Structure 1
Amino acid sequence: MMRRRTTLLASCTALALALGATACGGGPVAAGGGGKSLSGQTITVAGVWSGSEQKNFQKVLDAFTAKTGAKTQFVSTGDNVSTVVGSKIEGGNAPDVVMVPQVGVLQQFAKEGWLKPLSKTTEQSVDTNYASVWKKYGSVGDTLYGLYFKAAHKSTVWYSPDALAQAGVKPPTTYDAMLKAGHTVSDSGLAAFSVAGQDGWTLTDWFENIYLSQAGPEKYDALAAHQLKWTDPTVVEALTTLGKLFKDKQLMAGGQNGALNTDFPGSVEKVFGPKPEAGMVYEGDFVAGVAKDQFGKKIGQDANFFPFPAVDGGKAPVVSGGDAAVVLKDGKNQKAAMTFLEYLATPEAAAVWAGAGGFLSPNKKLDLASYSDDIARETAKSLVAAGDSVRFDMSDQAPAAFGGTKGAGEWKILQDFLRDPSDPKATAAELEKAAAKAYQG
């Protein structure tokens, strides 16, 4: 039945694209033009995506071409978006649109004077179709520069149903219950968690989920803006909570040394690979793509998730990340670029990638039936239902020197904490020292 529903949806989407409608039976879409209105024009879109993500985004570009006649060209920037885009601007070869993966980078681009404010049509779509928090993260001051097209749900704990069933435990709803369940899993023969400590960004995500639930959204916002110092007692408390996991050798596959030598793909492999070493791995919804594409797991059967559990009586957190589309002032085809963003703001555009998989949209007008599987529908529903309580990845809001540099700042300090979690106060002091320097710079 699911396969037939997907086929019907795909047929409906194709018909909608041909007719310039949002969906079968839907009304016309003003955003994105119509009637091949951009024939003969070309836009260049730059972004970090490669592999399956680039392939699926190309389907969105192709749908835009079918709708408007505009040709598109995608340029992969690699991870260092700001350096690549800056060099292209200096060389007189600026892309028209950039998919920016971090709030901090979007703010940097705006302050450099590289960005065009988005059109009134796009802004109206954002006001109507998105929770207001997404407009906040796409704006600098009162000006909207970025449209969040693709989102990540970073409050999901993925597990092997067989491992939990063998241990006789069910998905927990509190952090302490999760650690208790982890001990039961460990007693049954597997480590509880696979932790990707070789990648510092995964450790920031652990901290952010704990901090948001334990300290609350107002403190989270203040810390993200460095209006609250990292030496604040709430930070020490969150590090202490995280340390319960890090110092318990029974809970982590390979212990601390094993975690520090495991990267993100390796952490997924230790749960869903041919030789499982752990029952659970925490990370965002993109774990499903690795489990499915690399290890052939059926999502919802061989791999499933539960929401990151509430900490110390707080609310269950919803931490997100995402990619925002921006228009560069130095691009050669700004009119077509603006029309492209108007298209990306529609449910029609989001439905193209949702049907292909590996995608979540913050657009609340996107029909959940557009997603290709039940797990994607569940994570998307959770993201949209969180509304304005969603908080963007804190490290992605920080200057890159603190929140986004391998071997430095928050990444390195949390790796050091994983290696030795005995002194949360000292770790908090190191975090504050690094943050003060980066934010001042």
Structure 2
Amino acid sequence: MSGNGKRVMVAGGAVLAMTLMAGCLSSGTPSGGGGGAGGTGSFVDGGSADNDKKVTMLGTFGGDEEKNFLASLAPFEQSSGIKIQYVADRDFATTIKQKVNSGDAPDIGLFAQPGGLMEFAADNKVQALDSILDVNSLNSSLVPGLLDSAKYNGKVYAAPMKLAGKSLVWYPKKAYTAGGYSTAPATMTELQGVADKIKGSGTAPWCMGWESAQDTGWVGTDWIEQYVLGMFGPEVYDQWTSHKIPFNDPRIIQAFDEFAKIAKGDGYVLGGPKGVLSTPFGEAMLPAFDNPPRCFLERQGNFVTSFLPKNVQANLPEEVGVFAFPKFDNGFDGTAMVGAADMAALFNGNDPDAQAVMKFLASPDFGKEWAKAGGWLSPHKTFDTSLYGDETTKQVADIVSKAGVFRFDGSDLMPKAVGSGTFWSELIKWENGQSSKETADNIEASWPKS
């Protein structure tokens, strides 16, 4: 489940520089019109009228996110003379499908999940960006592996413009450092040593809560995804999420068994398995700020800080610490980052205005105003982290930007019947005592046949 739900004008010369930099991403001037999205020189002709200095855009950002998103577009609008008409729609996945299939597509759609986008790519209804952007240059600027989720038949169909990282471990800084625990364990063996030391003091090392009404279980899927990616690397992870290997592959079962050492291990999580299943995910880390703490560590996305006590939120840099979920011995050599991203896709490949907006959204210059306001991470390694509004966000951004590989939340990539169905429900049974093999077998049996 993608839980990433928490958006000054710049002087004319700086804005012009931004626009020119975005233009440098172009790999050529389009020629010809109509046709499919298949290759260079072939352009999808949806969206609004061409060359009208207006670009329509559909996405999910509302409230403060919408305000900060629009603020990040304002300098570009001023410098380019292009007016961006953004519409927020919480039911984006349904609406975009209806609009595209009825010939009423926006010029640009902002996708929170890659699945629906790939359907449009298969039907030649969205523009392949290889014709618009220098994809190699873009890829070298992004967190490694991020662009892979936007590919279909070897071509790129979207550019990430907002990132969420989940492979983070949070702790109550004052109590944790007073206990002398490592704030930068490099491997899971080292992290296990920290957990054992905390447990030896009489406190549960891990804070964990999976309860989320009808969505109970998604927190557990995030953990399994972390273990699969970290233990076996992106190739196996991709094979698993795309069902090129079965869900009950021995390596996946091994990942379940490894995670069981924490989730079902004696004394490693506050409240044990019953506590895990009954604790709302947003309340999981609250006991870490009791005096003394009743647990210390939580693996969760960068959005978790919005659930912390108000007095903690008011002074995050002094109250909360964070480090990257460490690598596994003999596993992927580097930080394996599981998360989510909002990705911009072009439905009007013929329109120079829409192309210009896409180039800006794809550039490291997008988002400066949003970064200052908070609630946003750039997908670019080259983004100036000094622009983030607080030290905690800067630290998270640094961790994410240095990741060795990024992969989308696996349950979001799987068929709905599995990703937000049996993967959740069978994990609840697993936490209640069902074996890893039986759990994986049951999920595999539920995978749609076609």
User: What stretches of structure 1 of length at least 5 have no aligned partner?
Assistant: 1-10
User: Number of aligned pairs?
Assistant: 412
Partner letter of residue 193 of structure 1? Answer: W
1:353 has 2:353 as partner: no
Distance, in Å, in 2 between the alignment partners of 1:267 and 1:112 is 43
Shift of 1:132: 6.3
Partner letter of residue 100 of structure 1? Answer: F
Identity of aligned residues (%): 28
User: Relative to 1, partners in 2 of residues 1:326 and 1:160: Cα closer, same or farther, differing over 3 Å?
Assistant: same
Determine which of 89, 94, 112 is the counterpart of 1:77. Answer: 89
1:14 has 2:10 as partner: yes
Cα deviation 1:224-262 (Å, max 9, x = unaligned)? 221112222211111011111221352323332332233
Aligned to 1:5: none
Determine which of 324, 328, 331 is the counterpart of 2:343. Answer: 324
1:253 has 2:249 as partner: no
Distance, in Å, in 2 between the alignment partners of 1:418 and 1:356 is 39
SS of the residue 2:319 aligns to: coil
Distance, in Å, in 2 between the alignment partners of 1:259 and 1:267 is 8
Cα deviation 1:181-210 (Å, max 9, x = unaligned)? 335445656543222312433222111111
Determine which of 134, 137, 148 is the counterpart of 1:136. Answer: 148
User: What stretches of structure 2 of length at least 5 have no aligned partner?
Assistant: 1-7, 27-49
Task: Please tell me whether the aligned partners of residues 18 and 67 of structure 1 are also in contact (alpha carbons under 8 angstroms).
Answer: no
Task: Please tell me whether the aligned partners of residues 197 and 203 of structure 1 are also in contact (alpha carbons under 8 angstroms).
Answer: yes
Partner letter of residue 210 of structure 2? Answer: G
User: Relative to 1, partners in 2 of residues 1:233 and 1:39: Cα closer, same or farther, differing over 3 Å?
Assistant: closer
1:117 has 2:128 as partner: yes
Aligned to 2:3: none
Task: Please tell me whether the aligned partners of residues 286 and 309 of structure 2 are also in contact (alpha carbons under 8 angstroms).
Answer: no
Name the TM-score, length of structure 1 as normaliser: 0.81
Higher deviation after alignment, 223-232 or 273-282: 273-282
Distance, in Å, in 1 between the alignment partners of 2:130 and 2:234 is 30
User: Relative to 1, partners in 2 of residues 1:118 and 1:193: Cα closer, same or farther, differing over 3 Å?
Assistant: same
Task: Please tell me whether the aligned partners of residues 32 and 339 of structure 1 are also in contact (alpha carbons under 8 angstroms).
Answer: no
Shift of 1:158: 0.8
SS of the residue 1:395 aligns to: helix
Partner letter of residue 142 of structure 1? Answer: G
SS of the residue 1:347 aligns to: coil
Aligned to 1:230: 247
1:108 has 2:108 as partner: no
User: Relative to 1, partners in 2 of residues 1:77 and 1:265: Cα closer, same or farther, differing over 3 Å?
Assistant: farther
Name the TM-score, length of structure 2 as normaliser: 0.79
Q: How does 1:205-244 map to 2 (within 5 A)?
A: 205-244=222-261
Distance, in Å, in 2 between the alignment partners of 1:396 and 1:294 is 34
Distance, in Å, in 1 between the alignment partners of 2:312 and 2:13 is 34
Determine which of 247, 258, 279 is the counterpart of 2:296. Answer: 279
Shift of 1:271: 3.9
Distance, in Å, in 1 between the alignment partners of 2:145 and 2:336 is 15
Determine which of 351, 357, 374 is the counterpart of 1:340. Answer: 357
User: Relative to 1, partners in 2 of residues 1:207 and 1:373: Cα closer, same or farther, differing over 3 Å?
Assistant: same
Distance, in Å, in 1 between the alignment partners of 2:103 and 2:199 is 57
User: Relative to 1, partners in 2 of residues 1:66 and 1:185: Cα closer, same or farther, differing over 3 Å?
Assistant: farther
Shift of 1:412: 2.0
Aligned to 1:6: none
Q: CA RMSD in A?
A: 3.4
Shift of 1:164: 1.6
Cα deviation 1:269-293 (Å, max 9, x = unaligned)? 4445999653222112222454487
Distance, in Å, in 1 between the alignment partners of 2:146 and 2:206 is 32
Partner letter of residue 439 of structure 2? Answer: T
SS of the residue 2:79 aligns to: helix
Cα deviation 1:309-345 (Å, max 9, x = unaligned)? 223443342223211111235x9x9543322111112
User: Relative to 1, partners in 2 of residues 1:434 and 1:180: Cα closer, same or farther, differing over 3 Å?
Assistant: farther
Task: Please tell me whether the aligned partners of residues 40 and 69 of structure 1 are also in contact (alpha carbons under 8 angstroms).
Answer: no
Aligned to 2:66: 54
User: Relative to 1, partners in 2 of residues 1:71 and 1:188: Cα closer, same or farther, differing over 3 Å?
Assistant: farther
